[in-house]
Amino acid sequence: MKRGGFARRAAGAASDHQTDRAQRLQARAARALAEAVPRASSLMCPAQAPAPMPKTTLVRSELYRRAVAGLPCMWCGIHGSSQHAHLNLGKGSGLKTDDRTGFPLCADRPGVEGCHVAYDQYRLVPGGREGHRVYGLEWGRITRAEILSLGLWPINLPAWQESTSST
């Protein structure tokens, strides 16, 4: 067998090298822990956590969402392309608000951006997030009234209490 240009280490030297390396790494980790500075978030955390806020039960109703989607778009008035749009208030990634707060906005069509997409990106109505909140609350109220007047309110869906709409 042909030998390469590097000299081989003795059998015991390889294990000594690994041991030295492990010790150096351990010493480096100990120094890093000793020099670590606490982050601001851990310093600002109160000693006693605040009491958890009570969670409201969000109502989901496929029948109601379909009834809302059957209405014309609240912004542009187009028929036959509406979707149930959730209120942009008190939700986060992957979280939706109560279905009864929704309203119809049109979906994307070939060559046309729908009002639903523009609403979700805070570009549809003036006033930024506050404008969206105001419009969304009013559109939800109008939609609930229209669903009731058309007799489309699902039988098993609890009635919406208008006093809770400001939450």
109-125 pLDDT tens trace: 999 999 999 998 999 99
User: For residue 165, what pLDDT is reported?
Assistant: 46
Q: Which residue has the higher pLDDT, 121 or 53?
A: 121
What is the C-alpha separation between 161 and 62, in angstroms, rounded?
A: 20
Q: Read off the pTM.
A: 0.62
The residue with greater pLDDT, 142 or 36, is: 142
Buried b (16+ CB within 10 A) or exposed e, 51-66: eeeeeeeeeebeebbe
- The pLDDT of residue 158 is above 70: yes
Contact 42, 70 (CB under 8 A): no
Residue boundaries of the structural domains of the chain: 62-166
**pLDDT tops 80 at residue 129:** yes
What is the mean predicted confidence (pLDDT) over 127-147? 92
- The predicted pLDDT at position 119 comes to 92
Q: Are 110 and 134 in contact (CB under 8 A)?
A: no
Question: What pLDDT does 166 receive?
Answer: 47
Q: Is 94 left (phi over 0), alpha (psi -120 to 50) or beta?
A: left
